[in-house]
Chains A and B, each alone.
Chain A
Amino acid sequence: MNLQFVADGLAMGAMIGLGAIGLTLTYSILRFANFVHGEFIAWGAYTGLVVANGLIVLSPKSGSFGPFSFGWALLIGLFAAMLCGVALALLVDKFAFKQLRMQSNTIVLVIASFGLSLALRSLLEFFVTSQPAYYSRDIQMAVPLGLGVRVTPDQLLVLALAAGLLVVVHVILTRTHAGRAMRAFSENPLLAEVAGIDGAAVVRMTWALGGALAAASGVMLGITVQIRPTMGFDMLLPLFAAAILGGIGSVPGAVMGGLIIGLAEAGGVQLFGGSYRAAVAFLILIAVLLVRPNGLFGRRP
């Protein structure tokens, strides 16, 4: 076994981690498993594609820079994708879950999110067909890093972008009032209200942050793998596994969980072949639920 899986796993794990942050936050603040989260990933990836392709038509040079397969067109696309993630998340909250939250139990919310995710996925497929798409068809040369590990410049940039976003999220959660309010509300909603925090505003912020991060991870997945309407749905299992492994509500946990799932998947693929990729996340999920249901960083319920 060579160390290649470490590079692939970290790149994949960073994207899983980004997506899992939103999932863990929505889970701990809204108190239900939100399947729509996967669609923010796919919609984000396609928004990035549409915006980047539009810009490339206007200015062909924006298509690539340096050793990368993409250029600033896609960086603007990434920004647009995150805005789309925010907008979509806020719409979903306003028109679907706001009402349901007040009058329904968790099962209704989960089923509703499942149905809505199906609807959003079909809508996307209607617009873009189910054929896979790519931001760029350039073949990238992988650079040897030593110890038999080779990475593409794209992978490195995605890793750096993900790390940058993680720092931003960390600063938001620990240094801003909005972030503290989200943490406070996820720990104890009644006490948060007593301390003057408007729960409805916190819920909106949570959707927005989760939507933006999911969309960003969608664009990164598009860069390093490919873009498909079902890409978000396919990510749900690793996302849930990462969020639960890290401990629901824990942002550092979601990131650690994402990296562990990413590494385990890549290791599994190297040992047993690509068809077992999904099984790895599933096995970890089951094992965590059996052995340590609160996850690595989770609070006792």
Chain B
Amino acid sequence: MTAPILEATRIVAGYEPGLPIVRGASIAAKAGEITAILGPNGAGKSTLIKAIAGLVLVSSGKITLADADITETPAHQHIRQGLAFVPQTENVFAGMSVEENLKIAVHILPKAARADRLEKTFALFPDLARQRQLLAGRLSGGQRQMLAAARALVVEPRVLMLDEPSAGLSPKFVASVFAKLVEIRQIGVAIVLVEQNVRAALAIADRAYVLVEGENRHEGTARDLANDPNVAALYFGAHTERAA
């Protein structure tokens, strides 16, 4: 068994002092695996990964990345340590071109490596390569999610966290975004995926956590959770009904 690269342990975090939204949740993610974080609306999934990304104040708990403690690290340093985050909304710079979005991100690498990484990333996302000069705000929803992921991947992070990359996309785009995630997993990146789309997420995930009211409710392999009647009863019965 390989050790997890990212570990968040007993995290308490929220937006106002004394009002914790995440109340002791713990997750771990391994390289080359997709770790899904599931749970009903308002469970605190987004808050948890924003806390890991350094965007929400963590009042207690510990976050380690490859054994380095990053609990107190400022947000802009995370990407330099190999932890990339794609927020749910407003996750590209709409007023800048596709290429500028990537150039901004790749700047943290040494100068000699930048052009090469940019081209490799465009090779991974051929749709984006065809529209380098287009303003990111003009991309379709699916392509925006691709750009957001490309922005995170251009620096070859060890961990990629995404908050609901399928939200608001048509089924066709959801399939292509998820296929891309599977492709990225093969490079050896640890992917942390927050999703509402439980079936699709469990279909590609290796492990999953179900968060309820800021705490871990269930965890296990994706297959076990998909077959667990408690998990189904908890909420994805309701979700599949809605989807049907």
Contact = CB atoms under 8 A, between A and B. Distances in A.
Interface stretch (B59-67, B86-94, B203-211): B86-94
B104 A177 contact: yes
Contacts of A192: 76, 104
Interface in A173-194: 177, 180-181, 183-184, 187-188, 190-194
B94 A197 contact: no
Given A180-B100, A188-B90, A196 B80 contact: yes
Contact of B55 (A177, A183, A190, A198): A190
B76 A180 contact: no
A184 B75 CA distance: 15
A181 B79 CA distance: 15
Interface string B172-202: 0000000000000000000000000000000
Interface residues of A, number: 18
A188 to B, nearest CB: 6
B105 A195 contact: yes
B151 interface: yes
B53 interface: yes
A198 to B, nearest CB: 5
A191 B87 contact: yes
B95 interface: yes
Given A180-B103, A180-B104, A194 B96 contact: no
A183 B93 contact: yes
B92 to A, nearest CB: 8
B76 A199 contact: yes
B76 A193 contact: yes
B85 interface: yes
A193 B75 contact: yes
Given A177-B104, A180-B104, A191 B79 contact: no
A195 B84 CA distance: 8
Contacts of A299: 95
Contact of B107 (A177, A187, A193): A177
A191 to B, nearest CB: 6
B76 A198 contact: yes
Interface in B29-56: 53-55
B85 A184 contact: no
B115 interface: no
Contact of B95 (A177, A183, A197): A183
Interface residues of B, number: 28
Contacts of B77: 196
Given A187-B94, A187-B95, A188-B93, A194 B75 contact: yes
Contact of A184 (B55, B74, B87, B104): B104
B108 A191 contact: no
Interface in B130-174: 151, 155
Nearest to A201: B76
A193 B78 CA distance: 9
Interface string B91-127: 1111110001001110110000000000000000000
Nearest to B50: A190
Contacts of B92: 191
Interface of B: 53-55, 74-80, 84-85, 87, 90-96, 100, 103-105, 107-108, 151, 155
Interface of A: 177, 180-181, 183-184, 187-188, 190-199, 299
Given A191-B91, A196-B77, A196-B107, 18 more contacts: A180-B96, A181-B104, A183-B93, A187-B95, A190-B75, A190-B87, A191-B87, A193-B75, A194-B53, A194-B78, A194-B84, A196-B76, A196-B105, A197-B104, A198-B74, A198-B76, A199-B76, A299-B95
30 contacts: A177-B104, A180-B104, A183-B95, A183-B96, A184-B93, A184-B96, A184-B104, A187-B93, A187-B95, A191-B92, A192-B104, A193-B54, A193-B55, A193-B76, A194-B53, A194-B55, A194-B75, A194-B76, A194-B85, A195-B79, A195-B104, A195-B105, A196-B80, A196-B105, A196-B107, A196-B108, A196-B155, A197-B76, A197-B104, A299-B95
